[in-house]
Amino acid sequence: MEPTAPARPRWTRRPEGSTWGDWGPDDQLGRLNLITAERRRAAAQEVREGLAFCLSLPLDLPGGSVLNPRRHPPVLRPTVRDGQPNMNFALSRVDARTTDVICDDLAILHLQYSTQWDSLAHVGSLFDADGDGVPERVFYNGWRAGIDIVGPTDGHQAGVPGWTAPERPEAPGQHDDLHGPGSDATRHAAGAYMGGRRAPLRSTSAAHALGIERIAQTCVQGRGVLVDLRAHLGDARTLVGWDTLSRVLETDGVHVEAGDIVCLHTGFAQRLVEMGGVPDVDALHSTGAALDGRDARLLRWIDDCGMAALVADNYAVEAHPPNGQPHGCASLPLHEHCLFRLGLPLGELWHLTPLARWLRDHGRQRFLLTAPPLRLPGAVGSPATPVATV
């Protein structure tokens, strides 16, 4: 569904320092507009060895729900054929003339559980876009909550009432509480697909503007630039502001140009891999560097360097909770700055360590990056399987 043209301008004032309107009143791509054909050609010049690196975690990591109690590991189920699970299904059961054995499945997937992209509909802000002194719930370029990004207003409506599912054993690290994998909403979702016992499910939310499919349509292919924070700061939890980041950039000779996709290596995702799906929450909270989203000079660098997207191998890219919480400020200040003000997509929980090691061994920081999300209309985030080619 395409968003309808508003009867009046979507906004009369834009956030200070934002890119609203820079690519037109109806823009939904933000800084991805900077990845032009010329920038893709420049990115292709970084391919010298023909080696490819998969930058995605297995999508069942981190494991459990310790990073976010609202997000859970993928659940796989077979589809159903003639009332039977469609897994290792011999077609001869329904047609004696055939020899096929069929496997066909589905996934119940929390779209931002593992390696992911945040769309521009993921984080908005209360902002007076109309200039009338009353803040509205608004997203990048003035797209509106309740009009362009829609969903239920009642918690009961967000689930699927009436569905039941068999109990299943908990995976390591999971817990059965209000938000856990044993919660009603998760059971309803799992049970609904187990045999079509009732009418098909329907979506209850949608980003009619700024959805993840807008990002997918661009293919997200350009030049990646790796900033190896781990090589300089180690594995300890470190809050990174502009002073620290600028020293790393200068020491390694890293140059970011307009249209580049900046990838921050902290080692966090590598720790998740080593934990093998049983994450240690205390260890994770003390692991790896994270950006200080309240550092104004750091945010100014994101503005000025012209990057098209910002990626990290940690959870949230920025430190969360942030450094202090002044009244009237965002709890995710870097998310607000990037997604809401600049239209700059964020990638989280990418597995960058193997690539970072190779680049450091070969004295390089740049590579061709291909990283489209799922082309899932209306979604506000998506898993990704990014590929770096060097």
Q: What's the domain range around 270?
A: 30-60+114-143+209-389
pLDDT value for 16:
96
- Nearest one of 40, 18, 221 to 120, comparing CA atoms: 18
What percent of the residues of the chain are helix, what percent strand, and what percent coil, each to the nearest 5? 25, 20, 55
Does residue 74 have a cis peptide bond before it, meaning omega lies within 30 degrees of 0?
no
Pair (306, 265) in one structural domain: yes
- Nearest one of 269, 380, 259 to 309, comparing CA atoms: 259
The count of structural domains within the chain is 2
* Tokens found for residue 232: 């300089």
* Tokens found for residue 195: 């045999």
Give the mean pLDDT of the chain: 89
**Could you tell me if residue 17 is inside a domain?**
no
Mean pLDDT of 158-170: 47
pLDDT value for 161:
46
Q: How many CA atoms lie within 13 A of 79 on its CB side?
A: 8
Task: Evaluate whether 35 touches 308 at the Cβ level (below 8 Å).
Answer: yes
Pair (217, 202) in one structural domain: no
Pair (221, 356) in one structural domain: yes
**Could you tell me if residue 287 is inside a domain?**
yes
Pair (237, 118) in one structural domain: yes
Say how far apart CA 387 and CA 390 lie, in whole Å. Answer: 10
**Residue 12, pLDDT above cutoff 60:** yes
- Nearest one of 122, 98, 124 to 111, comparing CA atoms: 122
Q: Is the dihedral of CA 53, 59, 65, 71 positive or negative?
A: positive
**Residue 173, pLDDT above cutoff 50:** no
Pair (249, 172) in one structural domain: no
**Residue 178, pLDDT above cutoff 90:** no
**Residue 168, pLDDT above cutoff 60:** no
Pair (162, 35) in one structural domain: no
**Could you tell me if residue 217 is inside a domain?**
yes
Say how far apart CA 302 and CA 281 lie, in whole Å. Answer: 30
Pair (198, 290) in one structural domain: no
**Residue 174, pLDDT above cutoff 90:** no
Torsion of CA 174, 179, 183, 188, to 10 degrees: -110
